[in-house]
Amino acid sequence: METSIKVLKKYFGYDSFREGQQKIIDSILGGSDTFAVMPTGAGKSICYQVPAMLFSGITIVISPLISLMKDQVDSLESIGIPASFINSSLSNMEVENRIERAARGDYKLIYVAPERLEANSFIELTTSLRISFIAIDEAHCVSQWGHDFRPGYRNIPGFIESIKSNPVVGAFTATATENVRNDVINLLKLKSPNVFVTGFDRENLTFSVIRDENKTDFILRYIDNNKEKSGIIYAATRKEVDTLHSILTKKGFPVGKYHAGMNEQDRIENQEDFIYDNKHIIIATNAFGMGIDKSNVRYVIHYNMPKNIESYYQEAGRAGRDGEASECILLFSAQDVFIQKFLIEQTLLNPDRKNNEYKKLQNMVDYCHTDRCLRQYILQYFGEENVPDNCGNCSSCNNDIDLADVTLEAKMVFSCILRMKQRFGIGLVGEVLKGSKNKKVLELGLSSISTYGLLKAYNLKQIKDLINVFVAENYLSLTEGEFPVVRLTPKGISVLKSGEKVFQRISKQNVKVKADNGLFEILRSLRKEIAEKEKVPPYIIFADSAINEMCKYLPKDEEQLSRIKGVGEIKLKKYGEVFINAIKDYTSGSSTSVPAISTESEEVKSHIETYNMLKEGISLEQISKERKLKMLTIQDHIIRCAAEGYKVDWSMFIKPEHEEIILNAVNEIGSTKLKPIKEALPPQVDYMEIKSVICKHKL
């Protein structure tokens, strides 16, 4: 008889469970109702998919987004687990057919939306099934005190009671405070449930709050330094999504967008482009993301502050689901608070719920202003105790900042606001400080006040950014409304009266994510090619974490590949040979970007053999053909030999008319990455020329 650990290895390719998974699975298999709170990316789905394979009957998975059910089912089928879904995209005949097939034992899991449980016709159809287990995903949606209340979840208790086989019930969520947890248990009528809170910490995520930079400029810099990384950028409104998407598109970045104002077909296409790695970036409102299983999201940037900690942690947690290092960056401005207040005011919530939303919003604002550990703040919010004061992996703890003395500039700004009678917004204050001859400035007589032009050495954007910093640091405040007015706070007034120093936090954060090595790029391209043929997202073939392990351990055969986490029996059989061959092809070229594969003598033999053939007058093209190695590998052999002191005739690879322009480009851009250099040069300059110039001049 199969055990849970055997199922885990056979289908999912892991030798052991993550923290907390085994206890949750044992509770379910032991017949107890179970409530589990696990952070996004901690492996909630395995906690119901593994029991589903061990129960004799069917498992019903209640999932909130029908648009993602197919992806979840595709992922299961790719590893040999028979599953299906039932949602509004199917006709009545198709629904009946799938129920009949389930009754015959063709499926172990069936995904349904909670709204489907309203239909008596569906409930009647399920009477033919032997349902052993019901798994409720995103269980917090049943509570009106949670951050994502969904009325359809109130149908679940009645559906469970209608099932005569008395199935085990498992409820799962990523974000729920103690009050919400108790509410969920009562509303779902769980029977003496075992409750597991596995911990909310995601150690692989770096958290940052950035309050003192221009948001658009920051995003442009960040993406430019992380072009090959997958990332999500969340914005609060459709307008901001559209604007940011337009800016990034014009800059040539591969970016999609997603919000409720788009037609369904466009949303689906943009979502699939992101999931299938056709576009690395997606800009979206919070309408995007629930149920997205894309494991290789390397960063999540919030362009605006979300409405509460629960939403933020759930959205940020979509980064690094594969366990690899990833970044969660929140770009804060005071205006974000008013946007969220406006959105709350537009809801039709009852007074109690509205007050609760304001309370949650204030917790989010406090997070953006706190100087203590950001991870500690989040974990304590969710009720964790004994959390260290310093995580060493957030913007508050990593000490990666400089403090610039801006007392003089602050006094100029504060004095200007006072002399403008605290009646105007940031834009006009900035115009006055700049010394602008703007029509409104002149009409209002503001060019005659003593602070006019005090910051004329700055451009207008810099002045406005500086004012926003002072707002964020509570030296200034903004009134509510469509056109907020900037005013001094007691803290700002004390600067003018007592001479208190004002410092601006300047982030030294390195926005570059570690570059992929050559083998990773080769295996990622291979994964993409296979995924396109099979019409599934690339991460379903292998997660980034699995590919990283392949690059680290360089498996030579199926036995070694089977030890890689995430390589189960089905994937080993389907993809093992092609990935092993790709690794062998790469390592036979002895690239210096991965560990040596064998002995030093074998490593030396390959690139020197290429060098000797070149000295004999054989062209690189012919060497590539005879040695059955890729041209890139042959070129790298020559560069490596030159770096080791072997004499190379560079005139074979560098055209005289190109050398100077390549040198100029390298001096301007640097030699760390080749792609930006290539993009700055005429198209006839190839990568071999660039590498040759860099090596020749030891740049």
Query: Could you read off the pLDDT of 486-498 as tens digits, one per residue?
Result: 999 999 999 998 8
Identify which of 225, 233, 474, 453 has the alpha carbon closest to the alpha carbon of residue 365.
Answer: 474
β partners of residue 303: none
Output the pLDDT for position 362.
77
Of residues 250 and 70, more confidently modeled: 250
Which range, of 21-25, 116-120, 143-147, 605-609, averages the lowest pLDDT?
143-147
What homologous superfamily is domain 4-197 in, according to CATH? P-loop containing nucleotide triphosphate hydrolases (3.40.50.300)
- 8 A C-beta contact, residue 307 and residue 313: no
Q: What is the pLDDT of residues 342-363, one digit of tens each?
A: 888 877 677 777 878 888 887 8
Q: Which tokens in the block code for residue 21?
A: 């998974």
Output the pLDDT for position 312.
93
Output the pLDDT for position 412.
93
Q: How far apart are CA 569 and CA 343, in angstroms?
A: 49
Q: What is the CATH number of domain 516-587?
A: 1.10.150.80
Q: How many CA atoms lie within 13 A of 249 on its CB side?
A: 11
CA triplet 618, 622, 625: central angle to 5 degrees? 145
Which range, of 140-144, 590-594, 608-612, averages the lowest pLDDT?
590-594
Q: What is the CATH number of domain 402-507?
A: 1.10.10.10
Output the pLDDT for position 513.
40
Output the pLDDT for position 516.
41
- Tell me the C-alpha to C-alpha distance, in Å, between residue 81 and each of 10, 112, 676: 10, 17, 44
Q: How far apart are CA 629 and CA 264, in angstroms?
A: 46
Q: How far apart are CA 520 and CA 631, in angstroms?
A: 18
Output the pLDDT for position 621.
86
Please give the share of the chain, as a percent, with pLDDT higher than 90. Answer: 28
**Mean pLDDT, rounded, for 679-693:** 86
Could you say which of 3.40.50.720, 3.40.190.290, 3.30.1360.120, 3.40.50.300 is the CATH number of the domain covering 205-400?
3.40.50.300
**Mean pLDDT, rounded, for 52-79:** 86
- 8 A C-beta contact, residue 245 and residue 257: yes
Those residues with Cβ within 8 angstroms of residue 546's Cβ, 6 or more apart along the chain or in another chain = 13, 322, 564, 565, 566, 567
β partners of residue 134: 60, 169
pLDDT at 601 over 50: no
pLDDT band at 472 (very low <50, low <70, confident <90, very high): low
Of residues 370 and 84, more confidently modeled: 84
- 8 A C-beta contact, residue 479 and residue 485: yes
Identify the top-confidence range among 168-177, 240-249, 313-322, 451-460: 240-249
Those residues with Cβ within 8 angstroms of residue 201's Cβ, 6 or more apart along the chain or in another chain = 39, 375, 379, 384
Output the pLDDT for position 509.
43
Q: What is the pLDDT of residues 296-305, one digit of tens each?
A: 899 999 999 9
Size of the chain, expressed as the number of residues it contains: 699
pLDDT at 667 over 80: no
- Tell me the C-alpha to C-alpha distance, in Å, between residue 674 and each of 372, 385, 662, 689: 40, 48, 11, 11
**Mean pLDDT, rounded, for 410-434:** 93
Of residues 90 and 494, more confidently modeled: 494
Output the pLDDT for position 490.
92
Q: How far apart are CA 339 and CA 337, in angstroms?
A: 5
Output the pLDDT for position 511.
40
pLDDT band at 128 (very low <50, low <70, confident <90, very high): confident
Q: Which tokens in the block code for residue 156?
A: 């679940």
Of residues 624 and 176, more confidently modeled: 624
Of residues 65 and 424, more confidently modeled: 424
Output the pLDDT for position 33.
94
What is the secondary structure of 587-629 as a DSSP string? HTTT-TTS---S-HHHHHHHHHHHHHHHHTT--HHHHHHHHT-
pLDDT at 241 over 90: yes
Ordered by start, the domain boundaries in the chain are 4-197, 205-400, 402-507, 516-587
Output the pLDDT for position 400.
55
Output the pLDDT for position 297.
93
- How many C-beta neighbours within 10 Å does residue 626 have? 10
Q: What is the pLDDT of residues 374-411, one digit of tens each?
A: 999 899 888 887 888 888 888 888 765 566 788 989 99
pLDDT at 47 over 90: yes
pLDDT band at 505 (very low <50, low <70, confident <90, very high): low
| Max Cα distance, the chain (Å) | 88
pLDDT band at 507 (very low <50, low <70, confident <90, very high): low
For the chain, the helix, strand and coil percentages under 3-state DSSP, each to the nearest 5: 50, 10, 40
Q: Determine the residue type at 213.
A: E
Those residues with Cβ within 8 angstroms of residue 257's Cβ, 6 or more apart along the chain or in another chain = 241, 242, 245, 270, 282, 283, 284
Of residues 40 and 358, more confidently modeled: 358
Q: Which tokens in the block code for residue 618?
A: 């054989």
pLDDT at 36 over 80: yes
- 8 A C-beta contact, residue 52 and residue 60: no
**Mean pLDDT, rounded, for 78-107:** 88
For residue 361, how far is the Cα from the chain centroid? 23
Rounded to the nearest integer, the mean pLDDT of the chain is 84
Q: How far apart are CA 414 and CA 33, in angstroms?
A: 60
- 8 A C-beta contact, residue 137 and residue 150: no
**Mean pLDDT, rounded, for 606-625:** 82
Asked whether the domain spanning 205-400 has the same topology as the one spanning 4-197, the reply is: yes
Output the pLDDT for position 145.
66
* This prediction's pTM: 0.57
